[in-house]
Copies of this chain bind each other. A is one copy, B any other.
């Protein structure tokens, strides 16, 4: 799940709440799927949001993202979000996240996250977290 060079895989189901009157997943909801996947990746390496804030006084905030919507997902679809870290820096990280239905790629996005303190100002990644995430970085 957190092997160097491999992607973290998060599975989800498409429910009515995710779809719109066009019969497909509403475009903003892929950002929800991606955030769930990042949360579970962090949990897999021992970090959850509440703990990061309580112990280290930090949180992650998305600074920018680029999204390509290639094919639509539909009600009842079983999807996977494949997350790879492209870069783990001192105060920020970037990740590539691909939403797939089986082998079929539906949405591809690149996300840059900043580590911020409780005031919202930039902060250093906790060392222990950085040490565990850094090896997951892929040379894409």
Contact = CB atoms under 8 A, between A and B. Distances in A.
Interface string A30-54: 0110011001100000001110000
Given A49-B76, A63-B68, A69-B61, A17 B22 contact: no
B32 A31 contact: no
Interface in A56-94: 59, 61-69, 72, 74-76
A34 B35 CA distance: 20
Q: How many identical subunits does the complex contain?
A: 4
Interface in A11-31: 13, 15-17, 19-24, 26-29, 31
A120 interface: yes
A41 B119 CA distance: 32
Given A27-B62, A31-B31, A72 B16 contact: no
7 contacts: A17-B32, A21-B23, A27-B31, A28-B35, A49-B76, A64-B66, A64-B69
